[in-house]
């Protein structure tokens, strides 16, 4: 047992209780946080324009600042990129965070040192809560290496301020915190590999470096972790065909922290790749800020009340609710205010509380939908239907894309890549089950398909193994940065269909 493991195992529970204090009285924590944010930023251009010095209560704040999307902040951010200071925040940002563009065009977000500390604290809470559950068994990962698959921390510079993706910024900045030496001792990060421009050479280096380490934890964006583990396995099997799964390479792999996309849909693929089940916890955040973390084995994310002042707007409503006013099983749009210069900022995500005391929520969907005939189909509804269908037919989907096609009549093209030897025995029955589950998930879709027949039955494209990986590599090689290279889960862009055309094994239709 290393000295780090001994210390953390001994003090995990009291340290976790100490760091969790803001969660004991969420409303009080939120009021204090909003006061700090307004006071710190009252002399900025934005603060003066919006009369921060006159705001003395939450209701006053809501009166002075209406919820706004990114475009409202763009002129202020453009001013900052031109070298102006004290615009949205005091001075200049530590980094510029570039979004992956999953909800639209890529955006620049100012990142401050407080935001870095919030992300670090959120990750620390996950680790401490996990260890506190079973100190002896769950602390074992501290005897090995934590591998963090991070994005590029410095894509370019704007007025000497680095521009990077969130996970890259976090990994680089965390090393500069007071616990930097411990962090460096425990953690292997992959940011240095971005200096290798050739994708295949980069993967060879990644494989060579990781298999030499005793890795106990793999962490990062869910789909990136899965994709890179598959790369490592593939490259290793080329030299040693006896290697069957990730467990053969990393026998002590026990835990993951996964974010970016909900791991729930990818569970079967992950466990199949590893060779058995492992523990994992979810972190929910965006470039704008970390929002919530999973602090228990059961599903549910705890809001980080010390990081963002949070407001919640029910769908089809303008009412702005606080944390003590939310209800279970209601969808809410999130509005955040934080130290990154975002005030009453509409994130574009929709969440649902599964518990209110203490508050626990789950990510529901992003506001982007397929909307062929007022059905407003979400990623969550598609994923739920797919997961249920996979269980019913005992198969595993590696990745999927659903494209709305308007001709000759509105319908969905469902593009699925199955895990090798885990595809359905009857593809037509599979498609039928999926459509039924989709109608169960979305009543409006059901009415449009069965009732007024505004939407035709879906068509299933089964594609070759490796299709999504190959297309994403093509995007990387074409110059798209990590994050923007991913194939969207939902789209009405029919040009996507051309990309998949050469990979189709079967086309399945109902009727």
Give the chain's domains with CATH numbers: 1-367 (3.40.50.12780), 379-509 (3.30.300)
pLDDT at position 369 is: 76
Opening angle at CA 147, ends 144 and 153, nearest 5: 145
pLDDT at position 104 is: 46
Per-residue pLDDT tens over the stretch 132-163: 999 999 999 999 999 998 877 677 899 999 88
Which residues of the chain, if any, have pLDDT below 50? 101-104, 176, 178
pLDDT at position 102 is: 46
Please state, in angstroms and rounded to a whole number, the distance separating the CA atoms of residues 470 and 71: 34
Please state, in angstroms and rounded to a whole number, the distance separating the CA atoms of residues 295 and 250: 25
Entry field: residues in the chain: 511
Please state, in angstroms and rounded to a whole number, the distance separating the CA atoms of residues 464 and 503: 6
Please state, in angstroms and rounded to a whole number, the distance separating the CA atoms of residues 480 and 175: 27
pLDDT at position 467 is: 94
Residues forming beta bridges with residue 311, ordered by sequence position: 335
pLDDT at position 182 is: 59
- Write out the DSSP string of 289-316: EEEEE--SSSS-BEE-TTT-EEEEEETT
The single-letter DSSP state of residue 481 is P
Single pTM value for the model: 0.79
**Is residue 131 within a helix (H) or strand (E), and if so which, with residue range?**
helix 113-133
Cis status, amide bond into 284, omega within 30 of 0: no
- Write out the DSSP string of 354-422: EEETTEEEEEEEES--B-SSS--B-HHHHHHHHHHHHHHHT--EEEEEEEEE-SSS-EEEEEEEEPTT-
Please state, in angstroms and rounded to a whole number, the distance separating the CA atoms of residues 471 and 32: 47
Per-residue pLDDT tens over the stretch 298-351: 999 999 999 999 999 998 789 999 999 999 988 899 999 999 999 999 988 889
Look over the chain and give the mean of its residue pLDDT values, rounded to a whole number. 88
């Amino acid at each position: 047992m290393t000295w780090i493991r001994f210390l953390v195992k001994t003090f995990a529970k009291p340290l976790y209780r100490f760091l969790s204090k803001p969660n004991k009285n969420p409303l009080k924590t939120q009021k204090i946080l909003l006061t700090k944010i307004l006071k710190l930023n009252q002399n900025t251009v934005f603060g003066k324009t919006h009369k921060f010095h006159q705001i003395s209560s939450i209701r006053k704040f809501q009166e002075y600042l209406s919820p706004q999307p990114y475009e409202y902040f763009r002129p202020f951010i453009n001013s900052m990129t031109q070298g102006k200071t004290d615009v949205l925040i005091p001075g200049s940002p530590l980094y510029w965070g570039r979004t992956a563009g999953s909800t639209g065009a890529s955006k620049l977000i100012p990142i401050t040192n407080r935001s870095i500390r919030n992300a670090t604290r959120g990750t620390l809470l996950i680790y401490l809560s996990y260890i506190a559950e079973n100190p002896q068994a769950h602390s074992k990962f501290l005897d090995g290496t934590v591998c963090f698959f991070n994005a590029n921390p410095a894509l370019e510079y704007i007025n000497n301020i680095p521009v990077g993706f969130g996970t890259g910024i976090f990994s680089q900045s965390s090393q500069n915190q007071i616990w930097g030496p411990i962090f460096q001792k425990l953690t292997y990060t992959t940011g240095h590999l971005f200096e290798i421009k050739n994708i295949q050479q980069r993967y060879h280096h990644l494989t060579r470096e990781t298999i030499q380490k005793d890795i106990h934890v793999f962490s990062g964006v869910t789909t990136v972790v899965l994709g890179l583990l598959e790369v490592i396995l593939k490259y290793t099997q080329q030299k040693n065909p006896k290697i069957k799964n990730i467990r053969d390479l990393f026998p002590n792999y026990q835990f993951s922290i996964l974010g970016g996309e909900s791991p729930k849909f990818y569970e079967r693929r992950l466990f199949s790749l590893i060779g058995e089940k492992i523990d994992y916890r979810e972190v929910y955040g965006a470039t704008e800020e970390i929002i919530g973390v999973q602090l228990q084995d059961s599903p549910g994310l705890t809001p980080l009340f010390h990081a963002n002042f949070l407001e919640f707007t029910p769908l089809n409503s303008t009412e702005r609710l606080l944390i003590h006013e939310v209800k279970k099983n209601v969808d809410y749009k999130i509005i955040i205010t934080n130290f990154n210069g975002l005030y009453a900022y509409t994130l574009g995500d929709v969440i649902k509380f599964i518990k209110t005391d203490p508050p626990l929520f789950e990510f529901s969907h992003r506001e982007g939908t397929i909307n062929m005939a007022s059905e407003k189909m979400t990623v969550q509804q598609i994923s739920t239907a797919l997961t249920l269908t996979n269980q019913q037919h005992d198969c595993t989907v590696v990745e999927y894309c659903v494209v709305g096609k308007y001709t000759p009549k509105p319908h969905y093209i469902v593009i699925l890549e199955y895990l090798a030897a885990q595809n359905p025995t009857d593809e037509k029955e599979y498609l039928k089950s999926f459509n039924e589950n989709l109608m169960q998930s979305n009543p409006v879709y059901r009415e449009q398909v069965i009732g007024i027949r505004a939407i035709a039955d879906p068509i299933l494209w089964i594609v070759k193994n490796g299709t999504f990986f190959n297309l994403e590599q093509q995007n990387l090689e074409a110059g798209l940065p990590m994050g923007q290279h991913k194939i969207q889960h939902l789209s009405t862009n029919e040009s996507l269909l051309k990309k998949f055309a050469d990979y189709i094994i079967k086309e399945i239709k109902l009727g």
